[in-house]
Amino acid sequence: MLEFTNDETARRWEARLDGELAGYSEYRTGRAKVVFTHTVVDERFEGRGIGSGLAKKALEAAVDAQLRIVPYCPFISAYLRRHHEYDDWVDWPRSPDDS
């Protein structure tokens, strides 16, 4: 069974498949926002939708908590570009090239 939990102490959402850690998405919070920094899925579990499940669960929790979403993590960024239901909640980070 695939389960998603928020480990607030470690500041990451975790995915466990049959009790084994399959992946996680790290974040920081502050000032009414959640900043996603890094997502990892163990290569043994790739291709099973674990990363997408993590993204969906973490983003839904952010919206439910009325937190702005700041995606520095490339995986979360890519997920958001495909799932426009979160558009009103996203504050895209500025690129160093933006002036």
Antiparallel, parallel or unpaired: β 12-17 and 2-7: antiparallel
pLDDT tens-digit profile of 40-84?
999 999 999 999 999 999 999 999 999 999 999 999 999 999 999
Q: Is the pTM of this model over 0.75?
A: yes
**How far is CA 51 from its chain centroid?**
8
Structural domain that includes position 7: 2-86
In a domain, 61, yes or no: yes
In a domain, 94, yes or no: no
Residue 99's pLDDT is what? 47
Number of domains in the chain: 1
Name the strand (E) or helix (H) holding 3.
strand 2-7
